[in-house]
């Protein structure tokens, strides 16, 4: 798919994982993509991961788009304001797409404990990282879209079902993003701007590959450790879902909804980079839920 000439996107939290996959697919569709995050060359974030915003931007450009890396801590409103001011000045006020993929809460999540046994400050910080950052970024960026009466905001979450995610603080952060999409969509609909939530399935992120001791090329070796890994998807899969949504002339009808990579793949006919079309929702219902 190709996007309109001059298409401008901001992928907030585009350093790795879904954010990187989305940014790269937008580049392949011809977009100018501002890639933000805290992990920059020479200035890594507290996560201690090797991926950087510069690497993502270079991948965007290599795919045919234009990648622009900017180091931004989205918990700091002044930094987000400066980002949006710069983008607006450089692009003559044009912002077609905002993807809120900021997270960073995995290392703070304690599984297998009750919420009162979970360190409170770590749980609260998960809300700052996973919800407040999205709201702060939309607060500054939405006026650019509203001024032109067009645009799409995609709120990336984890899971679309109402089931409990196994940790109160994690659950609250991911469900909060779904409500953000609903509420932002209601406020922005009269201004011509659409907001949707979007979830990938079992994501074959850089961190997950490391966890299983495999690479993007040898990922199937990880199935021996977790059978569910067979139904996983690359970050490019959800990236193709975002491109499909951004190119959809009927996107406004979806405002406030939370969508899935697997359902959109079936609707729009795209596949993952290896030609497969994983359907985590169907797999989860058949092999995970209730087991």
CA-nearest of 267, 245, 244 to 254 is 245
**Cβ neighbours of 149 (radius 10 Å):** 10
| Number of other residues whose CB lies within 10 A of the CB of residue 51 | 21
Q: Determine the Cα–Cα distance for residues 260 and 281; give it in Å rounded to an integer.
A: 8
Side-chain half-sphere CA neighbours of 130 within 13 A: 26
Catalytic-role residue among 34, 164, 170, 283:
170
DSSP-assigned letter for residue 130: I
Q: Where are the alpha helices (DSSP H) in the chain?
A: 17-28, 53-62, 77-90, 120-127, 133-148, 168-188, 206-212, 235-247, 261-268, 280-287
164 included as an active-site residue = no
Show which residues are catalytic: 170
């Amino acid at each position: 798919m190709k996007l309109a000439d001059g298409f401008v996107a901001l992928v907030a939290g585009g350093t790795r994982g879904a954010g990187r996959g989305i940014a790269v697919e937008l580049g392949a569709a011809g977009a100018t993509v501002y890639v933000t995050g805290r992990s920059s060359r020479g200035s890594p974030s507290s996560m201690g991961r090797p991926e950087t915003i510069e690497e993502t931007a270079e991948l965007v450009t290599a795919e045919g788009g234009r990648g622009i890396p900017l180091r931004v801590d989205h918990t700091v409103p002044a930094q987000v304001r400066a980002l949006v001011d710069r983008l607006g000045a450089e692009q003559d006020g044009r912002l077609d797409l905002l993807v809120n993929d900021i997270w960073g809460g995995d290392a703070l999540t304690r599984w297998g404990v009750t919420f009162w046994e979970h360190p409170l400050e770590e749980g609260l910080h998960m809300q700052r990282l996973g919800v407040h950052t999205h709201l702060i970024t939309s607060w500054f960026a939405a006026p650019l879209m509203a001024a032109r009466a067009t645009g799409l905001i995609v709120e990336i979450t984890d899971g679309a079902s109402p089931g409990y995610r196994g940790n109160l603080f994690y659950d609250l952060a991911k469900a909060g993003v779904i409500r953000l999409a609903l509420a932002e969509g209601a406020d922005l609909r009269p201004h011509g701007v659409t907001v949707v939530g979007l979830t990938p399935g079992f994501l074959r992120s850089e961190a997950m590959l490391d966890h299983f001791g495999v690479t993007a090329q040898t990922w199937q070796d990880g199935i021996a450790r977790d059978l569910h890994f067979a139904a996983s998807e690359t970050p490019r899969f959800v990236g193709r879902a975002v491109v499909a949504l951004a190119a959809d002339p009927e996107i406004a009808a979806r405002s406030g909804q939370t969508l899935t990579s697997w359902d959109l793949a079936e609707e729009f006919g795209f596949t993952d980079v290896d030609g497969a079309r994983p359907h985590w929702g169907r797999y989860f219902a058949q092999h995970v839920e209730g087991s």
